[in-house]
Amino acid sequence: MRTLGTRDSFFDFITADRLYFTAFLFLFCCACMIVMIYVHLYRKKRRYFNRQYIESILDEWIGAAIIEPSVEGWHVHVTPELLDEFEKEHNRQIAIDQLINTKKNLLGEASENIVRLYMQLNLQRDSYKKMKSLIWHKKAKGIYELYMMGQEDIQDEIFKYTNSQNEYVRMEAQTAIIGFQGFKGLTFLGPLTESLVDWQQIKLIEQLKPLDPDLNAAQLSSWLHSSNDYVIVFALKLAEIYQQFYAHDIAAQKLSSSNDRVRRQAILTLANIAGDHTAALLVAQYAKETPQNKKVILQNLTSIATDNELPFLLQELENEDDQVKLDVSRVLYKGYSSGSELLAQKAQQSPAPYEAILKHVKSEVV
């Protein structure tokens, strides 16, 4: 048996037989994969038909839930055979998903009956069990289901998860608490030590949007002094959106934060709850800032700039960075009645690039 190599060496064990054997193993694995593929496809098909069947039953019940008036004690008639079907965990999950998807879109009476159906089938037990699971995605799903089905009595338990280490569990818990308690639910910000990413912040803000604002000044101030930068950024956002003017001075303090993001949001907030001296404050901050934050300052000066800021702006108009020239020109054109004149003068003095910039800024306003 010849080996790979013309002399005795470490690679002696590589014989043709061994190679063929390994190749055979590979083919065997390959065959296993193929079998698994088809088994999987078959099972998927089975599950699909089962799903259709279960959903058709649910459709009937959901239809009744929507159309029939909402009364205490409302329920559907479930035959013993169907009851058996809904003993299977898989089918129960289908039911939960279907009920949630329907309820997601409905308000008022129709959704009340959906919740009654959920509880009639004892599905809250499944959701609760999921919440108690150690696997993060099950936990998060459980919280999500309990929230979507309005299980308010579990609130306190859910609250504990608002500072969970796993970000998805955390997000669902926070969403749930805001869902149940509205603005009052924001108390979770106090003990929050984990991160609160932009995605979640936007989610929470959109959740709060349709509600009547109910921000507690003392609470907001405490959040603005939090040791967690994420909480500070979020609180600043709230101050910006809900025009909490009393937060102005605290926001100004945040301009000296070491965190870029905090400073950036502080700038945005200040611009939106501006007082008489805010523009001056931002201009003073400008020199110390990163290029990105400088841009944000310029973009937000338009509505709050006063004549005091004019010298600064005219100076920055000469900045070697054309982008800065453009941003400053915008502020001048839109924020000052004499703006277009000043820019026209500049354009006459040095047509490149001010003439093109002026035209651009003009066309934006049209």
Q: Of 138-146, 181-189, 276-284, 341-349, which part binds another protein (CB under 8 A)? A: 138-146
Site string for another protein, 318-357 (x = CB under 8 A): ----xx--x--------------------------x--xx
Q: Which is nearer to another protein, 128 or 168 (CB)?
A: 168
Distance between CA atoms of 316 and 322, rounded to whole angstroms?
10
To another protein, the closest distance from the beta carbon of 4 in angstroms equals 6
Residue position matching structure tokens 């924020």: 335
- Looking at residue 3, the DSSP 8-state letter turns out to be B
Q: Which of residues 68-107 bind another protein (CB under 8 A)?
A: 98, 101-102, 104-107
- Are 76 and 64 spatial neighbours (Cβ–Cβ below 8 Å)? yes
Binders in 243-302 for another protein, by CB under 8 A: 292
Q: Which two tokens stand for residue 233?
A: 């950024």
Please give the C-alpha separations between residue 301 and each of 264, 270, 333, in angstroms, as whole numbers: 14, 10, 12
Using the 8-state DSSP alphabet, how is residue 288 labeled? Answer: T
CA 136 to chain centre: 18
Q: How many residues bind another protein (CB under 8 A)?
A: 76
Our CB check for another protein shows the closer of 50 and 70 to be 70
CB of 259 to another protein, least distance (A): 11
Compute φ and ψ for 15, nearest 5 degrees: -100, 165
Binding segment toward another protein, per CB under 8 A, in 14-22, 77-85, 123-131, 337-345: 14-22
The answer to whether 282 and 271 are in contact (CB under 8 A) is yes
Q: Which of 12, 30, 122, 125 binds another protein (CB under 8 A)?
A: 30
Residues 175-194 that bind another protein (CB under 8 A): none
Report residue 307 as tokens: 């004549």
* Residue ranges in 45-64 that form contacts with another protein under rule CB under 8 A: 59, 62-63
Least distance (Å) from another protein to the CB of residue 320?
Answer: 12
Q: Which residue has the tokens 């523009």?
A: 279
Binding-site member from 77, 79, 209, 337 for another protein (CB under 8 A): 209
The DSSP symbol for 350 reads: -
